[in-house]
Amino acid sequence: MSRIGLRAIEVPSGVTVAEKNGAVFVKGPKGELSERLPAGISMQLEGSQLNFTRTNELNETRALHGLIRALTANMVTGVTKGFRKDLEIQGVGYRAQVAGKQLNMTLGFSHPVEVPIPASISVSVENNTLIKIESISRAALGQFAADIRALRPPEPYKGKGVRYVGEHVRRKVGKSGTA
């Protein structure tokens, strides 16, 4: 039994949730998001409580029950508060800057790395090494942050690279001299 799917979502004032053509639409002060409603899952809005129920007990339907509830809860949070991830760049000469709708980074390659910023995401850079990414979509935010980190993941010997703020990188001991 899905314990996540059974929990109700509290819909704050100023947020509207609707079901149209087999999709859930959430609209709030920061924007609008939508997600396809899986077959076998239905949605009921009673006052400010949003509940999801399933029509059968198949394993796939049970798994999707908790998934659509979690995605909808993230959409409600996104259109009210939004989401944010911070990345930091460590390494001599490593830096980033935003130019229009493009993130330009110098990451120790022979060429600068240019990443286009999607329309639903806003990026700002502080001190050339701290990248702040904000969005109303948690999935788009996480994917964009992971794509940036994948350009130069932190290496274990000197710790150089792009990492999430607060991420711990296990350091390895380098070569030992044979004397």
Residue 173 in any domain: the answer is no
Both tokens assigned to 157: 């010997």
The reply to whether 68 and 101 lie within a common domain is no
- The side-by-side arrangement of strands in the sheet containing 41-46 is 9-10, 49-54, 41-46
pLDDT at 174: 83
Residue 178 in any domain: the answer is no
pLDDT at 178: 64
Q: What is the pLDDT along the chain (179 residues), one digit of tens a residue?
A: 458 888 999 999 999 999 999 999 999 999 999 999 998 999 999 989 999 999 988 989 988 999 999 999 999 999 999 999 999 999 999 999 999 999 999 999 999 999 999 999 999 999 999 999 999 999 999 999 999 999 999 999 999 999 999 999 999 988 876 65
CATH of the domain at 23: 3.90.930.12
The reply to whether 96 and 139 lie within a common domain is yes
pLDDT at 2: 56
Q: How far apart are the first and last CA of the chain?
A: 63
Cα–Cα distance measured from residue 75 to residue 47, given in angstroms and rounded to the nearest whole number:
18
pLDDT at 179: 59
Both tokens assigned to 71: 């995605």
Residue 175 DSSP class = P
Domain boundary among 61, 80, 99: 80
Which structural domain, as residue segments, surrounds residue 31?
A: 3-80
Domain boundary among 80, 113, 134: 80
Q: What residues are paired with 32 via a beta bridge? A: 27
Cα–Cα distance measured from residue 139 to residue 36, given in angstroms and rounded to the nearest whole number:
14
Tally of domains in the chain: 2
The reply to whether 32 and 97 lie within a common domain is no
Domain boundary among 80, 114, 146: 80
The reply to whether 124 and 54 lie within a common domain is no
The reply to whether 52 and 94 lie within a common domain is no
